[in-house]
Amino acid sequence: MTLTQTKDKPAQELKKTTMTGSEAVIHSLLQEGVDTIFGYPGGAIMPIYDALYDFQDKINHVLVRHEQGATHAAQGYARVTGKVGVCFATSGPGATNLITGIADAQIDSTPMVCITGQVPSSLLGSDAFQETDVIGISMPVTKWNFQVTKPEEIADALAKAFYIVRSGRPGPVVVDITKDAQFGSVDFTYTPCNRVRSYVPVPKIKEGALKAAAELLNGAKKPYILAGHGVLISGGTDALVQLAEKAGIPVASTLLGLSAFPPDHPLYVGMLGMHGNYGPNILTQACDVLIAVGMRFDDRVTGKLDTYARQAKVIHIEIDPAEVDKNVKADVALMGDAKAVLEQWLPMVNKNEHADWVNEFRKCDAIEEEKVVREALNPDGEELKMSEVVNLISEKTAGEAVVVTDVGQHQMIGARYYKFRKPDSNVTSGGLGTMGFALPAALGAKIGRPDREVIAIIGDGGFQMTLQEMATIFQTKAAVKVVILNNNFLGMVRQWQQLFFDRRYSFTEMTNPDFVSLSKGFGIEASRVSERDALGSAIDTMLQHDGPYLLEVMVEKEDNVFPMVPAGASLDEIKLEK
């Protein structure tokens, strides 16, 4: 996402006014168009919270129940709005509790500004109460971080922070502000940041590379597009569809790229990756030109790198130079914003069709349908399967909801069986794989897009990692719908134990609380369903409820997710059954 594409209001210059450093923080955020903050107060950030008290008519502060929840809520908010997510936390444990969410935002390219309070500058390095080196701790997982020790530094630091998170490949920043800087006085002026010396967020698109890529593509017999998160971040869905249609190229999606290409389009062939579809995985090994758009060839997509698409010429469209040639060598790298590259490249691409090649994917679809999908959606057994639950939710919402998933079996089932028909509808923890992500991220998504149905699909394990945010949902009255797929197991770990550790279920079975009573204890209406005949009406009741709602669905305990590319195996070794 480039600065010009952000959906935040543009920052404005503000004339000189004397105020405290804390007031300068709030005025800086207002200048950047911030209207929502997720946070948790504490000693070292109290002056900022005191300043915020006078701006409650301009900024909605969401009081989460744990700082990790603040980061995930900010991620959910950012992923569905295109705006910057903003978090507040105090020093010490407040700041360290942010780290998981910051790392998650970094690897999943989510724009987020985290503002932390810090002990007075005179106490830095003295091991004062609640002092921790958040700059050192957060450095490996941020785009940029900075410690403010003087009130005069606040406006420029925040202007730079917002410029960096929005420009180029989005990501998180941390601005740590000492307490004396918050209390101090400053003649406040605000100048938006539009440039940082030596920082080139968006590489210039090279005409020669475009021509070289077009020559490769125009001569291809079996071209193949892999669509990643960068398509959505750049707003490049329409350009991608135009390219695919003009040249008749089949399109597969990464996990985070879901909703970047219409699922019912005749050229869409499914999801890549460890639990992706059969055809997209196995035919990666048969294409002759592979076009990767805004994706980073992570190990869940490539499987064993030594055997990955060795026969293909690779065209990599990417905004971050660090991702090019990192895992897979590109024959042609098209550096730049994905949408801009696609739009400039399109006129050089010849009109073409590859019907026989596309038909190879359809033959694979038929094999997967027989081996996997038929039983997944129409099981013979009495117990409910996760796949039929997600499929029914997809049908009842017409594929138009924002679906927020955690990590594990339910995440892969959600990705496989929910038909995302609108862009920016799939919110999940992709790279870091953070259990506990979904509940607070769904809260943030609903606050950011109250006009859309937001459904959190969560496993019983992940739900219990951040369930305290049910209190935040109750307090905000955000109408999040929560579906717990309860198999009383840490399901994905159990699946691996079954397949690769001789069924030795070492500490993965869970004795769970009564989730329905728990939800009602938080003041949120809830119900439980375990019978197939009652599933449809239970989902209807949830969707029609005015306000937040929790639906616990009891599912088959030892259900497995297939297809599966075992860790470290080649894509050719994909398994369709045990």
Letter string b/e over residues 147-168, b meaning 16 or more CB atoms within 10 A of that residue's CB: bbbebbbbbbbbbbbbbbbbbb
Residue with token string 């997944």? 376
Residue 14: which pLDDT band, with cuts at 50, 70 and 90?
low
Give 482's strand partners.
456, 550
pLDDT in tens, 329-373: 999 999 999 999 999 999 999 999 999 999 999 999 999 999 999
Alpha-carbon distance 90 to 118, whole Å? 7
pLDDT at residue 526 above 80?
Answer: yes
Give me the pLDDT at residue 454, please.
Answer: 98
Task: Write the DSSP symbol of residue 223.
Answer: E
Q: How does pLDDT run across 393-442, given as a tens digit for each residue?
A: 999 999 999 999 999 999 999 999 999 999 999 999 999 999 999 999 99
501 is catalytic: no
Average of per-residue pLDDT across 278-294: 98
- 177, 211 in Cβ contact below 8 A? no
Integer Cα distance of 344 and 330 in angstroms: 19
- Whether the CB-CB separation of 306 and 568 falls below 8 Å is answered with no
Half-sphere exposure of 428 (CA within 13 A, CB side): 27
Give dist(CA 286, CA 406) in Å, integer: 33
Catalytic residue (choose from 129, 221, 395, 500) = 129
- Condensed to tens digits (0 to 9), the pLDDT of residues 443-482 reads 999 999 999 999 999 999 999 999 999 999 999 999 999 9
Please tell me whether residue 396 adopts helix, strand or coil conformation: helix
Q: Residue 168: pLDDT above 80?
A: yes
Query: Which residue out of 1, 465, 470, 492 is catalytically annotated?
Result: 492
Tokens of 441: 């991220």
Angle at 525 between CA 521 and CA 529, to 5 degrees: 105
Beta bridge pairs of residue 91: none
DSSP β-ladder status, 14-20 and 185-190: antiparallel
Whether 4 shows a pLDDT value over 90: the answer reads: no
The structure's pTM equals: 0.95
Amino acid found at 375 = E
Mean pLDDT of the chain: 96
pLDDT at 194 over 50: yes
Q: Indicate the length of the chain as a whole number.
A: 578
pLDDT band per the 50, 70, 90 thresholds, residue 160:
very high
Q: Where are the beta strands (DSSP E) in 96-195?
A: 112-118, 144-148, 172-178, 185-190
The pLDDT score that the predictor gives to residue 578 is 77
pLDDT of residue 577: 86
Among residues 143, 179, 313, 385, which one is catalytic? Answer: 179
Average pLDDT over residues 179-189: 97
- The tens digit of pLDDT for each residue in 81-125 reads 999 999 999 999 999 999 999 999 999 999 999 999 999 999 999
Strand partners, 509: 489
Which two three-digit tokens encode residue 513?
Answer: 């609380």
Q: What is the pLDDT of residue 205?
A: 96
Q: According to the model, what pLDDT value does residue 9 have?
A: 59
67 as an active site residue: the answer is: yes
- Owner of token pair 């400039």: 344
More confident residue, 481 or 9: 481
- The answer on pLDDT for 261 being more than 50 is yes
On the question of pLDDT at 13 being above 80, the answer is no
Question: What's the CA gap between 458 and 278, in Å, rounded?
Answer: 25
**Annotated catalytic residue 261:** no
Looking up tokens 């997967």 gives 368
318 is catalytic: no
**Catalytic site residue 129?**
yes
- Burial of 421-438, coded b for 16+ CB within 10 Å and e otherwise, reads bebbbbbbbbbbbbbbbb
Catalytic residue (choose from 5, 19, 46, 130): 130
Q: Which of 23, 32, 67, 153 is catalytic?
A: 67
CA pair distance 500, 523, nearest whole angstrom: 42
Q: How far apart are CA 520 and CA 279, in angstroms?
A: 44
The CA distances from residue 287 to 211, 218, 261, 317, 360, in Å, are: 20, 14, 20, 17, 11
pLDDT confidence of residue 15: 64
